[in-house]
Amino acid sequence: METGARIECGKDGTHVVTLYDTTLRDGTQREGLSLSVEDKLRVARRLDLLGVHYVEGGFPGSNPKDIEFFERARDLALETATITAFGATCRKDTAAEDDPGLRALLDTGCEALCIFGKAWDLHVTETLRATLEENVRMVRDSVAYLKSQGRTVFFDAEHFFDGYAHNAGYALEVVRAAAEAGADAVVLCDTNGGTMPHEVLRAVGVVHLETDTPLGIHAHNDAGCAVANSLLAVEAGCTHVQGTANGYGERAGNADLLTIIPALVLKMGRECISPDQLKLLTEVSHFIAETANISPDPHQPYVGASAFAHKGGVHASAAARLPEAYEHVDPAAVGNLARVVVSELAGRASLTMKAQEMGIDLTADPETVGAVLDSIKELEHRGYSFEAADASLEIMLGKRLGTYEPFFRLESFRCIMEKREDGRVMTEATIKIHVSGHRYIATAEGNGPVNALDRALRIAIGRYYPALDPIELTDFKVRVLDEKKGTGAVTRVLIESADGEKSWGTVGVSENIIEASWEALVDSVEYGLAHPRQDTDDLHGT
């Protein structure tokens, strides 16, 4: 079990910055954002691939969903990230070892724990209704108790910067109490999000002189300064940075960790993730946005679709000849593409690299790469998004290259919805399918059109493809792409599937939601059949 924070020196003697993601807790406090347990597990895996050091899973004492997440997260095979549980210090007038909240944290089995406590005297006396001395005792005893249980412990000094502005002496006393109790890092929180960058720089500089314990920063974006405050805090001595993917969070959001990371690596020369991991930045950003069912912000720094877009004309022409004169970093370094608003300017290398990940070699065929890239751009113009739909991208590549062999051919399908006397609403689907030279008609009921179509398809082709048995749909999302058209709008359907070993995403787009769903469903099934589980011996049956 880990007993120390990941604070160390890089090759040039500067401190390595530890990345702490709180999307799964703080990020989900954003209005309209909700993640299922499956969603949270998928996001945790992607953050691990990106190289994030700590992934905060939630508040185990607050709701059953977070409790289930921590139970299931024990089975995650993560390479870089440590799953972290979040909670509060012990209650006032309660011994740390008797506090149910601290016990809930320990019961998660997490190697790392993060607890928050008050650092603003106003909150202590008016919100907590405790004495200043009791609050310091709560902080000191809670950190010490959790450390005695062999855990890495981070202390979030809540409302630190407001507290420092009103009563600097007390805010520093709280920090010292956590540090002296053994906290692996004391995190200075701009909880209200209104602190200005120069104030952060000054305060962190003072605290840095007060303690040898590693310091962290947790900034909110209410004044639009969260990223700047985080970067200045690192400049002033912080070696632990907290934030959320895409800046999701309550009110105006949290510091965007996916903007902070490339700034640390490319602008400030700080070690936190590898260059290869940094190239996953755009993909991870869009994957999390799609998983949260939120449209990716095209103007988001580094990862937005417009982050390296050049308007047509002289500027675009010059950018094509000398991109470094018009782009503050190489788009490929963060996994993004440079483009102009009419004709695409780049993307061949990224497509070639993505194809190689799928076992498709395009390096010797630049004409095909260009044609495929044009096809992708056309599809994306129509509403497709392949960021969270790698399986559909692989199938589309196979079709363009002539290597795709369909497992079945659709003749037609029909869906009928019926509201029954007992109040239940059921859907009946009938499909006519050609498979292995035979024509089959299958009918099935489901609790919706996708469920009914899925069942009917399995009835029709299941005898030929045993590999279909373990494949199941684990998530289904619909997004309206042009809201102004109302019920006639184009919709995009994203389906997530799994077979017990791996998971994959597919996409379908149409003005008819059933057609879009069928398209995503077929891609899901065919990808699963093309990549069967290792324990499926005979793909095509006997």
User: 124 and 251: one domain?
Assistant: yes
The Cα–Cα gap between 277 and 193 comes to 29
Q: Alpha-carbon torsion 417, 418, 419, 424, what sign?
A: negative
User: 376 and 428: one domain?
Assistant: no
Q: For 126-135, which contacts have Cβ atoms below 8 Å and span 24 or more sequence positions? A: 128/92, 129/92, 130/92, 132/170, 134/92, 134/93, 135/92, 135/174
The Cα–Cα gap between 161 and 165 comes to 6
User: 278 and 386: one domain?
Assistant: no
CATH number, domain containing residue 490: 3.30.160.340
**Pairing state of beta strands 503-510 and 491-498?**
antiparallel
**300 domain-assigned:** no
Domain boundary among 291, 326, 351: 291
Judge whether 507 and 389 are in contact, CB under 8 Å.
Answer: yes
C-alpha to C-alpha distances, 291 to 42, 59, 76, 153, 269, nearest whole angstrom: 8, 21, 18, 30, 31
Domain boundary among 464, 479, 503: 464
**455 domain-assigned:** yes
- Among residues 196, 220, 200, the alpha carbon closest in space to that of 208 is found at 200
The Cα–Cα gap between 89 and 158 comes to 11
Q: What angle do CA 431, 533, 79 make, to 5 degrees?
A: 125
C-alpha to C-alpha distances, 131 to 21, 93, 126, 140, 162, nearest whole angstrom: 32, 10, 10, 14, 18
Structure tokens at 275: 């260059």
Tens-digit pLDDT profile for residues 28-43: 999 999 999 999 999 9
User: 454 and 473: one domain?
Assistant: no
Per-residue confidence (pLDDT) for residue 181, from 0 to 100: 97
Domains in the chain: how many in total?
3
Range of the domain at 444: 411-464
Q: Provide the angle, in degrees to the nearest 10, between the axes of the packed helices 366-382 and 348-357.
A: 90
Expressed in angstroms, the distance from the first to the final Cα of the chain is: 49
User: 390 and 489: one domain?
Assistant: yes
User: 269 and 403: one domain?
Assistant: no
Q: Which residues pair with 425 in a beta bridge?
A: 419
The Cα–Cα gap between 23 and 288 comes to 9
**Pairing state of beta strands 215-219 and 185-190?**
parallel
The answer, as to whether pTM is greater than 0.75, is no
CATH number, domain containing residue 443: 3.30.160
Task: Please report, as a single letter, which amino acid is at residue 4.
Answer: G
With a cut of 50, which residues of the chain have pLDDT below it? 1-14, 312-317, 341-346, 537-542
**334 domain-assigned:** no
User: 91 and 222: one domain?
Assistant: yes
Q: Provide the angle, in degrees to the nearest 10, between the axes of the packed helices 513-530 and 390-401.
A: 80
C-alpha to C-alpha distances, 441 to 308, 410, 537, nearest whole angstrom: 50, 10, 27
User: 527 and 446: one domain?
Assistant: no
Judge whether 494 and 516 are in contact, CB under 8 Å.
Answer: no
Judge whether 350 and 337 are in contact, CB under 8 Å.
Answer: yes
Alpha-carbon torsion angle 338, 342, 344, 345, nearest 10: -60
Tens-digit pLDDT profile for residues 267-321: 999 999 999 999 999 999 999 998 998 888 889 999 998 888 765 444 444 555 5
Per-residue confidence (pLDDT) for residue 308, from 0 to 100: 82
Neighbouring residues of 428: CB distance < 8 A, sequence distance ≥ 6? 415, 416, 418, 443, 444, 445, 452
**358 domain-assigned:** no
**320 domain-assigned:** no
Per-residue confidence (pLDDT) for residue 175, from 0 to 100: 98
User: 253 and 382: one domain?
Assistant: no
User: 45 and 135: one domain?
Assistant: yes
**330 domain-assigned:** no
User: 428 and 522: one domain?
Assistant: no
Domain boundary among 263, 291, 319: 291
Backbone phi, psi, residue 511, to 5°: -70, -20
Q: Is 448 exposed, middle or buried (0-12, 13-18, 19+ CB in 10 A)?
A: middle
User: 402 and 278: one domain?
Assistant: no
**361 domain-assigned:** no
**321 domain-assigned:** no
CATH number, domain containing residue 219: 3.20.20.70
